[in-house]
Amino acid sequence: MKKIRIAGAGPSGLTAAINLAKAGYEVDVFEKAPDVGKHLKGGLQGLENWSDKKDIGDELREMNLGINFDLDPFYNFSVSNGRKSWDFEADPGTPAFYLVKRGSVPGSLDYGLKEQALQSGVNIRFQEKAPLEEMDIIATGPVKNEVFIAAKGIAFDTSMDDMAIAFVDDRAAYLGYSYLLVTNGSGCMCTVLFDRFNNVGNCLENTKRIFSEMVELDIQNPRPDGGIGSFSLGCQFESNAQLYVGEAAGLQDMVWGFGMRSAMRSGYLAARSIIHGEDYEKAATECFRNKLKASLVNRYIWERFGARNYSMIFDALKGTRNPPKYMQSFHNFNHLQRIAYPFAIRKMRERYPELSL
């Protein structure tokens, strides 16, 4: 077995590394930062449970990943636009999503995957930036010229009760949303923008003010949090015998920015292709193509019918018998999305000319 070299120690790269090492391969992971998740400071992010029928916990185990990190299930969440609020509840036993910590801190997803990789025999070479042309798997994160999402916020310690609240208003998050997440003494408040990124600082200040009016905030030891995201409908999964995973391949959710589940799945598929001699590009295309198309249609609907306060969208979602199951349909390119797709793709190419759509 030849040595496998991976660029990037994020969730996609480490998932690939863990699977390859468990199959007996010698694996080197090159990470230019001094540790995993270095730009993240213990902030909270969501692993959605609505994009697939399979529970994320079962999927992680299927991908040969142990759950040695905090994975907190949430069954309830609320959304407000300042004029109206919507409370959503998942079916008992089926969380709407899970919250995970990010960054190089104990209990985080990044820290847990690093520990699993090291225990499996992976050699993580921190503060080394290897030439990409020498890599077998590219897991370097967002593609800078295809950025469509920017997030800025704070992670903090708190005595607040667990909660998950989203706020949709262009003053707080242009064409996106703000959120306040709290679980087990950790909190995160963030604004997520899909345009006008130079206004992210003002949006964060508006977000802080709005949430302070909604709940009694207790923010201790605040730390900066945030990041960027890229998306590509014309995903490059393979080029010159190199495999691309996660956002390096263009995998991201164009509506919410929930990309971790796809990132880890792509890393798993890349490892399988090496271990079993499978066609990675074919497997990844079959897995993600329709989800990416659905995501683009959803972004078009969000921007076209949100009409600034987004009431129409959340009224429709609240009116369904099972909102998470309804959302699952709209993440898997249903019949209505297939009809809308030709119009949506044309409009979104005009809207986002810098993306590979």
CB distance 179 to 166 below 8 Å: yes
What tokens does 197 get?
């990124």
| Residue 41 neighbours by CB under 8 Å, 6+ apart | 103, 105, 155, 223, 224, 225
CB distance 280 to 273 below 8 Å: yes
- Per-domain boundaries in the chain: 147-229
Task: Give the helix/strand (H/E) hosting 59.
Answer: helix 56-62
Q: Please give the share of the chain, as a percent, with pLDDT higher than 90.
A: 80
Cβ-in-10-Å burial (0-12, 13-18, 19+) of 24 comes to: exposed
- The per-residue pLDDT for range 193-230, each reduced to its tens digit, is 999 999 999 999 999 999 999 999 999 999 999 999 98
CB distance 82 to 178 below 8 Å: no
Q: What is the DSSP letter of 100?
A: E
- The per-residue pLDDT for range 346-355, each reduced to its tens digit, is 999 998 888 8
Total-model pTM: 0.95
CB distance 190 to 179 below 8 Å: yes
How far is Cα 260 from Cα 277, in angstroms, rounded to an integer?
Answer: 25
257 pLDDT tier (thresholds 50, 70, 90): confident
What tokens does 222 get?
């605040």
- The per-residue pLDDT for range 227-250, each reduced to its tens digit, is 999 888 878 899 999 999 999 999
CB distance 124 to 29 below 8 Å: yes
The alpha carbon of residue 23 and the mean position of all alpha carbons in its chain are separated, in whole angstroms, by 27
Cα-only R_g, the chain? 20
Give the three-state DSSP class for 348. Answer: helix
Torsion sign (Cα): 323, 88, 254, 81: positive
Give the three-state DSSP class for 26. Answer: coil
Instruction: Report, as an integer, the average pLDDT of 178-188.
Output: 97
